[in-house]
Amino acid sequence: MPGFELFSDLERKEVNDVLDNGVLMRYGFDGMRNGHWKAQELEKLLSETLQTKHVQLVSSGTAAVSVALASAGIGAGDEVIMPTFTFVASFEAVMMLGAVPVLVDIDDTLTLDPNAVIKAITPKTKAVMVVQMCGSMGDMDKLGEICSDNKLIFIEDACQAIGGFYNNKPLGSIADLGCFSFDFVKTITCGEGGAVITNKKEYYLNADHFSDHGHDHIGNDRGAESHPFLGYNFRISELNAAVGIAQARRLPEFVAIQKRNYTIIKDALSHLPNVEFRRVPKGGEESYAFLSFYLPDLETARNVSNAFKTNGVDACFHYYDNNWHYIRKWEHLKEQKSLFPISEEVKDGLKYLDTKIFEQSDAYIARNISCLIKLSWSEEEVKARAQKMADIIVDIV
């Protein structure tokens, strides 16, 4: 991660196909296309790769989460349980529909704690959204069970974990609906883009129509199509999809490189007595996009993180102090700073954030460092980096 590091003639060829016929839109203009339907081709490829019947490409991962929730009928006043450690897109996507994000603690997997999920369920709860952060996953069996016992929709945000597996199923394909991002920094990039995947035809058709103004996409006269319900524009363009085709074909190559680089660094750190790796649930296979580990306490993690930065070990994140991924710095959410009025239901629903303390999440995130695994590193570079990381940790801890 990220796939842009290895851009090649493969991506250029796909983009040139689109530019050669000039149709940048995924729908319509059948006569001009010379048979090029890049978004459709990428959907088919992802459906095979992710072993899931239906794929709807959209304009971003954030759009994918909103479209997935909307497709399952989640909206005004409904509560969606999600983790405290995620990207801001998770609550943005929920709130865009007028639903209420209910943040709960993570555990040593760095994703949803099933016990925290159970405690947060109320009569208003409609969905549980696990976010497969930093290339790994939650306890999917337990979370799935909680959802089926309580008749809740199970959403899987696998934006950061494409290429990982749980019990031999691709991450993103396990819950009722899965979401992916293909933004510029993801393992597979389209520049901007995302996908909703599902085995349920009804959800898929909803996603297909909702992401294109409610169009039913029947026939080949766009102006004559009917609109079974309201929608928006979350379409991907053919140019973005073209880049994604080349990248998606290269997923096995990218994951193999990630695994090699991850393993070199993990081996170098695994003999250090004060380093503990994140728990990967039994049956889980990471995507190797990040290596995440815990140090003994907050102060040590801060010192190691700073020493990494000053010694040129880039792309390692201490999320406790990071304002994109952890609740501690989300003042705009806690204070409900919005350009436009937020509904009373959402305001009320977010009141818990005035007082709620996430001690368990704090304890894990304070001690955690997650290091991005890059694709462009040579084996020698990774070995040198691994040694430097180990030396810094030994020096500080």
Binding stretches for ligand PLP (CB under 6 A) = 60-62, 86-87, 89-90, 131, 157, 159-160, 181, 183, 194
Nearer to ligand PLP, 67 or 131 (CB): 131
Give me the least distance between CB of 381 and ligand PLP, in Å please: 25
Contact (CB, 8 A) for 369 and 292? yes
We find the least distance from the C-beta atom of residue 200 to ligand PLP, in angstroms, to be 21
Q: How far apart are the first and last CA of the chain?
A: 29
User: Who contacts 311 (Cβ-Cβ below 8 Å, separation ≥6)?
Assistant: 388, 392
In this chain, which residue has its C-beta nearest to ligand PLP? Answer: 61
3 neighbors 189 (Cβ within 8 angstroms) = yes
Complex with ligand PLP: residue 178 or 194, whichever CB lies closer: 194
Shortest distance in whole angstroms from residue 182 CB to ligand PLP: 7
CB of 90 to ligand PLP, least distance (A): 6
C-beta closer to ligand PLP: residue 62 or 300? 62
Rg (CA), the chain: 21
Complex with ligand PLP: residue 101 or 385, whichever CB lies closer: 101
How far is Cα 211 from Cα 260, in angstroms, rounded to an integer? 38
Report the residue number, 203 or 317, with the smaller CB distance to ligand PLP. Answer: 317
Residue 326 DSSP code: B
Tokens of 74: 């989640």
Q: How far is the CB of 112 from ligand PLP (least distance, A)?
A: 12
- Secondary structure (3-state) at 25: coil
Q: Which candidate, 168, 189, 84, places its Cα nearest to that of 130?
A: 84
Q: Which tokens sit at 329?
A: 């710095």
Closest approach of ligand PLP to the CB of residue 340, in Å: 20
Task: Give the helix ranges, DSSP H, for the chain.
Answer: 9-21, 38-49, 61-71, 89-96, 114-120, 140-149, 201-210, 238-249, 251-270, 298-310, 331-334, 344-349, 359-367, 379-396
| Nearer residue to ligand PLP within complex by CB, 24 or 88 | 88
Phi, psi at 95, each rounded to 5°: -70, -25
The CB-of-193 to ligand PLP minimum distance in angstroms stands at 7
Distance CA 368, CA 317 (A): 8
Q: Which is nearer to ligand PLP, 93 or 350 (CB)?
A: 93
Q: Which of 290, 285, 57, 45 is nearest to 174 (CA)?
A: 285
Give me the least distance between CB of 388 and ligand PLP, in Å please: 27
Nearest to 370 by CA among 187, 41, 94, 109: 109
DSSP string, 209-253: HHTBTT----SS-GGG---SS---B-PPPHHHHHHHHHHHHTHHH
Q: How far is the CB of 163 from ligand PLP (least distance, A)?
A: 14
**Closest distance to ligand PLP from the beta carbon of 157 (Å):** 5
Nearest residue (CB) to ligand PLP, 160 versus 237 = 160
